[in-house]
Amino acid sequence: MLISAGDDTKLYAYAVKEFTGFKPHCICPWPQRTPIQVALNTSFNQSPMLLLQSSHWLEVRLLHLKNVRRTGDYAKAESVGRFKIKASHKIICSALANSGMFFLPSREITYCPFNDFFSHDSSWLIVAGLDRRIYVVDANSSELIHTFTPFRESQDNGLSPAEPPITKLCTSSDRQWLAAVNCFGDIYVFNLETLRQHWFISRLGGASVIAAGFPPQNNNVLIVTTSSNQVYAFDVEARQLGEWSVRNTFVLPKRFHEFPGEVIGLSFPPSARVESQRSCFVQTTTTPSPIPFW
């Protein structure tokens, strides 16, 4: 493998033996930011909403899908507004509530968050800060509800100074579980009802976590994909690997184990069909691949 670094803070990985057979894999800049976010069924006539992020502005658009009937059709986008910040500042991450009522730009001059997002019901804002703590804020009143300090099972006094910062966050749709991932792949699971840490999962096979999420139809299952192209399904409530993961994690199709970086994301289908409720899509550099669970 050939690693290339540039002055734009990005790293690229190339397969040496098959240099022309694979596109270079871009290792995400630090901190990571999502340039596009979508909220479905918002409070604005149930219309989808799109949030576009640049270094110095955010733009919100409403999507009109009446004329979108088949793959390849274009949706009409109506601009709601563009919000700029001072040229001397830079937006490093942003969040859009599912209701479409709130959005948040985070600047590098403030508490410098590594990740922030709204809970599934849009009532809470959850922020992971540079100080390695996680803040839960009421979206309507802006009051601080709770501050989590992640810790390992062997610790009882909170986060040590050497503990890596949190880079990924996700919650279950019933707002019971919060999963936080640090930059090396350790996972902390919190119970949002009791406001206590529930579980610590040490990095999986020494690999970093590429994506994580709770399926909307099963709030006790946490799905995780890693940089080694492994997929794990955890039973959060029982604090153990789920039955599917015990049977299948190490026997995935060959395409998931080839060039590192092939798996780049994770998503869950919104369909009400039973087979869709029991699966997720693992996003690769070529095409999304469905994996059936439980």
| pLDDT above 90 coverage of the chain, percent | 20
Average pLDDT of span 229-235: 87
pLDDT at res. 29: 46
Q: How many CA atoms lie less than 13 Å away from 131 in the CB half-sphere? A: 10
Task: Please write the tens of the pLDDT for every residue from 164-208.
Answer: 788 889 999 899 999 999 888 899 999 999 999 999 999 888 888
Q: Measuring CA to CA, which residue among 135, 76, 128, 81 is closest to residue 103?
A: 81
* Bigger pLDDT: 56 vs 20: 56
pLDDT at res. 274: 47
pLDDT at res. 286: 59
Q: Tokens for 133?
A: 């703590």
pLDDT at res. 8: 59
Asked if pLDDT for residue 75 goes beyond 50, the answer is yes
Taking all residues of the chain, what is their mean pLDDT, rounded to a whole number? 79
Asked if pLDDT for residue 230 goes beyond 60, the answer is yes
> pTM (2 decimals)?
0.77
Asked if pLDDT for residue 284 goes beyond 60, the answer is yes
Q: Report the side by side order of strands in the sheet with 124-128.
A: 115-118, 124-128, 134-138, 144-148
- Radius of gyration from C-alpha coordinates of the chain: 19
CA distance 50 to 71: 19
- In the structure, what pLDDT confidence band is assigned to residue 110 with cuts at 50, 70 and 90? very low
Q: Tokens for 59?
A: 């733009």
Task: Please write the tens of the pLDDT for every residue from 129-172.
Answer: 878 889 999 999 999 999 999 988 655 555 554 567 888 899 99
* Bigger pLDDT: 284 vs 90: 90
- In the structure, what pLDDT confidence band is assigned to residue 236 with cuts at 50, 70 and 90? very high
Helix (H) or strand (E) holding 182: strand 177-182
Beta bridge partners of 50: 38, 61
Structural contact between residues 172 and 187, judged by C-beta atoms closer than 8 angstroms: no
CA distance 192 to 174: 10
Asked if pLDDT for residue 258 goes beyond 80, the answer is no
| Through-space distance between the first and last CA atoms of the chain, rounded to whole angstroms | 35
pLDDT at res. 238: 94
Q: Measuring CA to CA, which residue among 225, 200, 207 is closest to residue 284?
A: 225
pLDDT at res. 31: 45
Structural contact between residues 263 and 257, judged by C-beta atoms closer than 8 angstroms: no
Average pLDDT of span 65-81: 80
pLDDT at res. 234: 94
Task: Please write the tens of the pLDDT for every residue from 7-41.
Answer: 656 677 777 877 777 667 666 544 455 678 888 87
Structural contact between residues 265 and 211, judged by C-beta atoms closer than 8 angstroms: yes
Task: Please write the tens of the pLDDT for every residue from 79-93.
Answer: 888 888 777 777 777
The number of angstroms, rounded, from the C-alpha of 27 to the middle of its chain's C-alpha atoms is 16
* Bigger pLDDT: 99 vs 15: 99
pLDDT at res. 172: 93
The CA distances from residue 281 to 51, 136, 201, 265, in Å, are 22, 29, 23, 8
Domain boundaries, the chain: 1-27, 205-294
Helix (H) or strand (E) holding 276: helix 274-277
